[in-house]
Each structure stands twice: as structure tokens, then as C-alpha cells.
């Protein structure tokens, strides 16, 4: 798989189109399209670095992806999506704990609030793949 095809697939995996991604990566849309159509061999290292940064990957990871078969590559992309979902869930739990900690400093929880929080934690734990036995 070529670097351009890997980048194109990773951009699609973010849920963004090329124009939105170019803004996030802080490179001109036409430059991104040129890279996606012609490959990275004639692009500046700076532009490739911006693309990798916006995708949350390293040069080495991009290089590793190019050596994979399509089926292994697709499996890798699927795993990245799962990790992203897990990270969002962990962030939601951290935020909830911070809010709870602040509220507990001001007033104790009623039994109803304890029950509601317990339910919320159960639901969030069910979403988080790391919390499953």
C-alpha cells in the first residue's frame, strides 16, 4: 500500500473530508490533494510532518503501514478507531470524576444521587473495553 493511499484511508477514518483535514493539518487543500494523487515523494518533509501530526501518527508508523497488505491495514485502522473510542470514554470518566470530586467538597451526596451516579458508572464501564472481564 502506498503512503498516499494510507493517508487517504486514515483521513477517511477521522470522518473528515480532504478540505476539512487540510485546514486541521494547516496545509493548503491543493497541496493535500497533490500528495493524495501523486504520493509523498515530491512533497516537503514539513507537509508530511503536518499530515502525520494531524493524524496522530509518526513518520515511522506511516512507513510501517505502507508495508502491510490491505486486509492487515484495514484491521490496523479498525484497532485505531477502537482505541480512539476507548480514549474518549476514559476522558469522559476522568471529567465525571473531577466534577464529582468538586461537588463532594461542597455537599454530601443524597442516596438518590449515589444511585444515579452508580448507574452512570455502570453504563460508562460497559462502553469501556478495558473494564470488561
Interval 65-76: pLDDT, tens: 777 776 676 676
pLDDT tens digits, 34-92: 999 998 888 899 999 999 888 888 888 888 777 777 667 667 666 665 445 444 455 56
CB of 1 closer than 8 Å to CB of 65: yes
Distance, CA of 133 to CA of 131 (rounded, Å): 6
Q: What is the pTM of this model?
A: 0.55
Specify the pLDDT at position 70: 67
Q: Which residues of 76-115 are buried (b: 16+ CB within 10 A; e: fewer)?
A: bbeebeeeeeeeebeeebeeeeeeeeeeeeeeeeeeeeee
Higher pLDDT, 3 or 67: 3
pLDDT over threshold 50, residue 133: no
Amino acid at each position: 500500500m502506498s503512503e498516499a493511499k494510507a493517508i487517504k484511508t486514515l483521513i477517511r477514518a477521522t470522518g473528515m473530508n480532504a478540505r476539512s483535514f487540510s485546514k486541521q493539518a494547516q496545509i493548503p487543500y491543493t497541496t493535500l490533494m497533490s500528495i493524495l494523487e501523486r504520493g509523498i515523494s515530491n512533497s516537503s518533509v514539513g507537509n508530511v510532518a503536518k499530515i502525520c501530526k494531524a493524524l496522530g501518527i509518526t513518520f515511522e508508523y506511516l512507513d510501517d503501514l505502507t508495508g502491510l497488505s490491505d486486509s492487515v491495514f484495514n484491521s490496523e485502522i479498525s484497532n485505531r478507531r477502537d482505541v480512539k473510542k476507548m480514549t474518549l470514554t476514559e476522558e469522559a470518566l476522568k471529567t465525571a470524576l473531577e466534577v464529582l470530586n468538586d461537588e463532594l467538597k461542597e455537599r454530601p451526596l443524597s442516596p438518590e444521587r449515589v444511585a444515579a451516579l452508580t448507574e452512570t458508572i455502570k453504563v460508562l464501564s460497559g462502553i469501556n473495553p478495558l473494564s470488561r472481564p
